[in-house]
């Protein structure tokens, strides 16, 4: 009896193990891996001062270069021809893994490593959180069963060692990134890719068929980043007056640094943080300590750093101390 049970468990393990391993494997992009933006068959257009880090190109279509290109352009050449072949193979490979069905509205969801899919066109309104559960090698594959649109000011957030290099999106149609949004991961689509004004793509935008359109965007191919380094900016620190302490943070090979403020301090009336600048605004007569955290996303996972500011309006000489 024990031997039969052992054989049953062994058989189940042999059946399930290849599926689990395959589900966690990243697709092989081949020659397409060096592209930040690439279409196998469609026009590549840019309006405004877009900044792209990584190669760009089209294998068949008109080409208008981005405002700033930190890479090479490949237009109907040998590299683009091979990239088309490899991209088609990668798109097909992403169809294979067994996954878990999720609602078409991705905003507010938290996904752990694995394969996830929707059965229809989908949207992201708000924040989608990808949680690697402290495994920097964890792979996320998200298959969208139709067109996909990210709404204005929405975001894909990577937490607990989730790596930008290991996030892949298969999109079965058109992709739209709305104004002011931030999207993370490698897009492998079979429809046009439209990046609207001032949106950022931290990853790749690759399509087997369809145009790629940019409007004042920032696109950066996945890369390693350094730990953010803070610098103190202008400060208003008169006794008993409201004031603002402004910080900036930079990190090697990084864009899109985000800020957060200590939750306890933020609960005090009149105190706030401006996420885009790292500025802390405090109310008149308030004193206390605020911790600012800056996070930079990259291939090697988010890199974070903290900085502390103490506000003491009772002191005429030094109302603000940065530690």
Pairing type for strands 148-150 and 175-177 reads parallel
Rounded CA-CA distance 40/16 in Å is: 35
For residue 203 the two structure tokens come to 């990853």
DSSP 8-class letter at 230: E
Residue whose C-alpha is closest to residue 157's, from 122, 118, 109, 193: 109
Rounded CA-CA distance 134/71 in Å is: 32
Kindly give the confidence (pLDDT) of every residue in the chain, 323 residues in length, as a single tens digit, with 9 standing for 90 and above: 444 444 444 444 434 433 333 346 899 999 999 999 999 999 999 999 999 999 999 999 999 999 999 999 999 999 999 999 999 999 999 998 789 999 999 999 999 999 999 999 999 999 999 999 999 899 999 999 999 999 998 999 999 889 999 999 999 999 999 998 999 999 999 999 999 998 999 999 999 999 999 999 999 998 888 898 887 665 544 445 566 777 788 888 776 678 887 766 655 556 666 666 677 776 766 677 778 888 887 887 778 888 877 766 554 344 444 33
Beta bridge partners of 45: 213
What's this model's pTM, rounded to 2 decimal places? 0.74
Q: Cβ neighbours of residue 54 under 8 Å, at least 6 residues apart? A: 34, 35, 36, 37, 70, 71, 204, 219, 220, 221
Return the CATH fold of 229-322: Immunoglobulin-like (2.60.40)
Residue 320 has a pLDDT of: 42
Cβ–Cβ under 8 Å, residues 103 and 120: no
Q: Count the Cβ atoms, other than its own, within 10 Å of residue 67.
A: 14
Residue 313 has a pLDDT of: 57
Residue 288 has a pLDDT of: 72
Residue 265 has a pLDDT of: 63
Cβ–Cβ under 8 Å, residues 287 and 302: no
List strand residue ranges (DSSP E) for 110-215, in order. Answer: 110-111, 114-117, 122-124, 127-131, 140-144, 148-150, 155-159, 167-171, 175-177, 182-189, 193-195, 200-207, 212-215
Residue 11 has a pLDDT of: 44
Residue 316 has a pLDDT of: 39
Q: Domain map of the chain by residue range?
A: 18-220, 229-322
Residue 296 has a pLDDT of: 83
Cβ–Cβ under 8 Å, residues 314 and 237: no
Residue 24 has a pLDDT of: 62
């Amino acid at each position: 009896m024990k031997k039969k049970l052992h054989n049953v468990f062994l058989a189940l393990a042999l059946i399930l193990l290849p599926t689990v391993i395959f589900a966690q494997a990243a697709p092989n992009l081949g020659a397409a891996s060096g592209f930040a933006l690439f279409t196998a068959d469609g026009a590549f257009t840019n309006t405004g001062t877009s900044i792209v880090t990584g190669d760009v190109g089209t294998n068949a279509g008109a080409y208008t270069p981005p405002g700033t290109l930190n890479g090479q352009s490949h237009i109907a050449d040998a590299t683009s021809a091979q990239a088309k072949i490899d991209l088609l193979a990668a798109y097909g490979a992403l169809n294979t893994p067994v996954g878990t069905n999720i609602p078409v509205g991705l905003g507010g969801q938290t996904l752990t490593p694995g394969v996830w899919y929707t059965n229809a066109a989908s949207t992201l309104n708000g924040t989608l959180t990808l949680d690697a559960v402290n495994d920097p090698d964890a792979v996320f594959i998200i298959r969208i069963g139709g067109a996909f649109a990210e709404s204005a000011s929405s975001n894909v957030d990577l937490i607990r060692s989730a790596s930008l290099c290991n996030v892949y999106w298969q999109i079965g149609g058109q992709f739209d990134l709305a104004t002011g949004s931030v999207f993370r991961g490698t897009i492998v689509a079979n429809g046009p890719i439209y990046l609207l004004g001032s949106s950022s793509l931290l990853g790749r935008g690759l399509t087997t068929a369809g145009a790629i359109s940019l409007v004042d965007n920032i696109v950066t191919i996945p890369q390693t980043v350094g730990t953010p380094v803070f610098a103190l900016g202008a400060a208003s620190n008169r006794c008993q007056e409201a004031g603002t302490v402004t910080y900036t943070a930079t990190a090697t090979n990084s864009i899109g640094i985000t800020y957060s403020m200590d939750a306890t301090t933020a609960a005090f009336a009149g105190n706030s943080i401006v996420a885009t600048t790292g500025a802390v605004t405090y109310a008149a007569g308030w004193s206390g300590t605020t911790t600012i955290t800056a996070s930079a996303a990259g291939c090697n996972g988010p890199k974070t750093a903290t900085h502390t500011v103490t506000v003491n309006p009772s002191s005429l000489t030094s109302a603000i101390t940065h530690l």
